[in-house]
Structures are given as C-alpha cells and as structure tokens.
Amino acid sequence: VIAGSFKNSHQISAGTIVGSNIFNIFLVAGGAGVIGGGFILSPKEYIFHAPAVLLFSVMLLAIFFFGRRIGRAKGVFLLLCYFAYIALAFLL
C-alpha cells in the first residue's frame, strides 16, 4: 500500500486495502466459523460495529466514485472518524 502510494499508483493501494478486507471477512471469519462450529455475535456487534463498518464503506465508496482521490483533507477526516470509532468502541 505504501509503495503504491509513493509511486502514484493509488488505485493499486485502494484495491489492496479493499481486497485485504474482503479476504479477512470471508476467509478468517468463515474459517473460524467452520473450525469452531460457529460463533455468536453479541448485541454490540449488531448495534455498533456493523453500522460503523457500513458507514465507513459507504463513505469510501462515495469518495472513490465522486472524488476519485483521497486528498489530505479527506484523509484527515477519515483518520478522525477512525479514531472516534476506536474511542467509542472502548467506551461502549
């Protein structure tokens, strides 16, 4: 990701991030479910984490489709959103 950013291959960086997330969701979560016989999600996952993931995904899709570029201002905004998410996750 960092090498792609330095070489101005931002599409490769974005594709790597999205591909890594898809891989983690399907392989890691699916593998854990198969090996462990399934897992139970707490209400916190349904109420807080799932909507947060959906919101971040919609924000990134909007940036990619309409802006085509994540500049400094958008990057700072996304980092602040992430820090707020992490803070709220530990507080709840």
What is the pTM assigned to this prediction? 0.58
Decide if 69 contacts 61 (C-beta within 8 A): no
Query: Interhelix angle for 50-62 vs 72-91, to 10°?
Result: 180
68: left (phi over 0), alpha (psi -120 to 50) or beta: left
Decide if 49 contacts 29 (C-beta within 8 A): no
pLDDT higher than threshold 80 for residue 71: no
Per residue in 43-63, pLDDT (tens digit) is: 777 788 888 888 888 887 787
